[in-house]
Amino acid sequence: MTTDAPLLARMKADIDAGIALCRDTCEYFSVCGGGEPVNKLFENGSFATAETTYCRMTKMRVTDLVLDRLEQMPDIIESREATLPSGSASPVGKTVGHELVAEEGIHFGERE
């Protein structure tokens, strides 16, 4: 019986090298963790690589989009509140002036 241990060990070393390269070079590493080795192999020809089209489309752009939306949230909330008449209902309460007041029966803490 033959063993593929040397090949698998080399493959693991290349995958680890690719993850280390991602850690050292990519600002999205905390979100992604080093990507998908198969995409690195298919797109770049080696596991010991970093950026791929796959990661640009599924990690980087998505992260940018979510962060952009989070940065816009105060503006979005403010503009929605500005369009609601005072006292109108919202999913969590009603607006009184510029403040959102919880409706009765909505519990933000532990229920009794």
Where on the chain is the footprint of ligand SF4 (CB under 6 A)?
22, 26, 28-29, 32, 34-35, 50-51, 55, 59-60
Question: With respect to ligand SF4, which residue has the nearer C-beta, 11 or 62?
Answer: 62
Closest distance of CB 78 from ligand SF4, Å: 33
Question: With respect to ligand SF4, which residue has the nearer C-beta, 35 or 95?
Answer: 35
DSSP letter string over 52-102?
A: -HHHIIIIIHHHHHHHHHHHHHHHHHHHHHHHSPTT-B-SSEEEETTEEEE
CA–CA distance, 38 with 46 (Å, rounded to integer): 9
CA–CA distance, 70 with 17 (Å, rounded to integer): 33
CA–CA distance, 29 with 20 (Å, rounded to integer): 10
Closest distance of CB 70 from ligand SF4, Å: 19
Q: Name residue 101's beta-bridge partners.
A: 94
Question: With respect to ligand SF4, which residue has the nearer C-beta, 34 or 95?
Answer: 34
Closest distance of CB 79 from ligand SF4, Å: 32
Q: Name residue 99's beta-bridge partners.
A: 96
Closest distance of CB 48 from ligand SF4, Å: 12
Closest CB to ligand SF4: residue number: 35
Question: With respect to ligand SF4, which residue has the nearer C-beta, 21 or 100?
Answer: 21
